[in-house]
Amino acid sequence: MKVIDLRSDTITMPTEEMRQAMYKAEVGDDVYVEDPTINLLEEKSAAMLGKEAALFTVSGTMSNLIAVLAHTRPGDEIILGNEAHMLVAEVGGASALGGVIMRNIPNEIDGRLELSLVEQTIREENIHYPRTTLLCIENTQNRCGGTVLTAEYTVAVADLAHRHGLMVHLDGARIFNAAVALGVPAKRLVEPVDSVSFCLSKGLSAPVGSLLCGSGRFINSARKWRKMLGGGMRQAGVIAAAGIVAIEKMVDRLAEDHANAKMLAIGLSQIPGIVIYPDRIQTNIVLFEPPTGVTPQEFSMRMETSQILAKPYGGRRIRAVLNRMVSGEDIKETLERVGQIVRESA
């Protein structure tokens, strides 16, 4: 029985073209900014997102942490959603290593932060208060089910933050999923923000890496922070080469993952007892609840026994993430197996 892995789009394997590019990559010492392949990846990434410069890092978590370090000082306060990946799943690094207070406000069901609530949360100048210096948003919003922030919303929330003297960082781990879903260039979705990170190693299928993009001055600061964190790489063009293939060749195919996610969601909605809202599926992430009386942990274990891998995801939710390694035929097989699990659990 084939294993169908829906845990994350991080499980994607590099393509043959990526492997060939890695084998042939021209390399140098990146700490001295002498790796031509990394330099090219950074130039292309900055251009794709309409920013002056970019920095190659090992992960989205590192990119987000560096952004906080470069935008803030210890004792500052940053604002982000209560479902933000930076808050929930990055080991508290912004607080532990950046010394900042992470003040969270509720994400709406579609991933947005309510503008009036953002404004209320920004501290006024007062000797008793920390300075509010950074707003962090996320597109797509992972824990809200891969929901998309529109260009118009991002302009509105960034304008609000800037009026109050805050910088804005966008965790764009899956920003190209958002761009494909909306049918707009990624640079339009990030135009008003001061910095943005995106991952190569999720739906784009590269084996490792993230890019942090922003102004030239910001990236110069970020490069020094990366060195402090131990992220200075040497002949890392061998992995950057796969990233070049990823941003040049793998963006448009994300639409396949979105279509498969919708197929999975519609199919799950037709299985008695499964709770899911197919109309909320915008990109490649599907959140659903198992039948009443079965915990997400129990249900995911039964799925694993049937060779389907998915993750309990807080509350009664289970997350399934569509990716290049999962085909339309795999979705049909998944629905057959999940239907059988539900029938046997009744």
pLDDT of residue 198: 98
Q: What is the DSSP string of 69-135?
A: HHH--TT-EEEEETT-HHHHSSTTHHHHTT--EEEEEPBPTTS-B-HHHHHHHSPPS-TTSPPEEEE
Task: Please tell me the predicted confidence (pLDDT) of residue 1.
Answer: 87
At residue 323, the pLDDT reads 98
Q: Do domains 12-249 and 253-345 have the same CATH topology?
A: no
Looking at residue 264, the DSSP 8-state letter turns out to be H
Instruction: Answer yes or no: CATH 3.40.50.410 is held by domain 253-345.
Output: no
Q: Which CATH class is domain 12-249?
A: alpha beta
**pLDDT per residue as tens digits for the range 311-325:** 999 899 999 999 999
Give the residue ranges of the chain where pLDDT is below 50.
Answer: none
Pairing of strands 4-5, 308-309: parallel
Q: What are phi and psi of 172, to 5 degrees?
A: -105, 40
Q: Where are the domains of the chain?
A: 12-249, 253-345
